[in-house]
Amino acid sequence: MPREFDFLGALVPGLLPVFLLSAVVHIGLDWACGHYGVYRYVWHRSLFRICMLICVFGLLNALLIK
């Protein structure tokens, strides 16, 4: 993924699609954590959740952005 790309004539930062992708992955992870009761063992559920989002976003950035 380049740093910026041309989307229908508008320059879009490459981070935006990566962020959207990580949001989708995060929604799936969040659902799974709720379903398998992970949140029961977590002290601060919201903090845990946002940290998860940051980890996913960072990981995808490291993997996808050139």
Partner 1 sequence: MSALTDRLMSRPVWLRLAGRARRTGRDWLDSEGPRWTFVVKTLIAAFLALWIAFCLGFDSPRSAMMTVFIVALPSSGMALEKGVYRLLGTLVGCVAALGFVGMFPQQAMLLFISLAIWAGLCTAGSALMRNARSYGFVLAGYTACMIALPALSRPLDVFDLAVSRATEISLGILCSAFVNDVLFPRHQSEELVQKLRGLYLSFATLCSESMQHLLPEAELERRHLDFATDVAALESQRAASVFEAGDIRIRSRQLHAFSLAAMAALTTFHTLHQLMERLRRAGGSTIPQLMQPLFNEFNTAMLIGDGLARTAAEAEHTRLRFNALFRSMPGLIEATRRRHAPALDEAQMLDLETALELLQRLGAEFRSLVSIYASLPANLARIEADAAALPPAYSQTTPPGIVLAAGLRNGLALLILASAWYALNWPSAAGAVMIATIFCGLASSSPEPHRIIHSTTLGFTLATPFAFFCAFFMLNRVEGFDMLVLSMLPFLAAGAYLSTWPLYAGVGVGFNLMFAQMVAPENLMRFNAISFINDSMAQIIGLLIAGLMFALILPEHRQGSRRHIREALWHEASLACITVSPHLRHLFENRIRDLLNQLGMIRIFDEATRAIVNEAMVLLELGHAVISLRRATAAHADTPPEVRQGIEALARYFRQPQARTRQAAIAAAGAAMDRCQVVAATNLLADLHLIRTCLLDTTFDPDTRPKENDNAA
Interface residues with partner 1 (CB under 8 A) are 10, 30-31, 33-35, 37, 39-40, 44-50
Identity of the residue, 1 or 39, whose beta carbon is nearer to partner 1 in the bound complex: 39
Minimum gap (Å) between residue 63 Cβ and partner 1? 23
Identity of the residue, 46 or 62, whose beta carbon is nearer to partner 1 in the bound complex: 46
CA atoms within 13 A on the CB side of 30: 18
Minimum gap (Å) between residue 62 Cβ and partner 1? 22
Label each residue of 2-17 as H, E or C. CCEEEECCEEEECHHH
Per-residue CA distances from 57 to 11, 45, 51 (Å): 21, 18, 10
Minimum gap (Å) between residue 35 Cβ and partner 1? 5
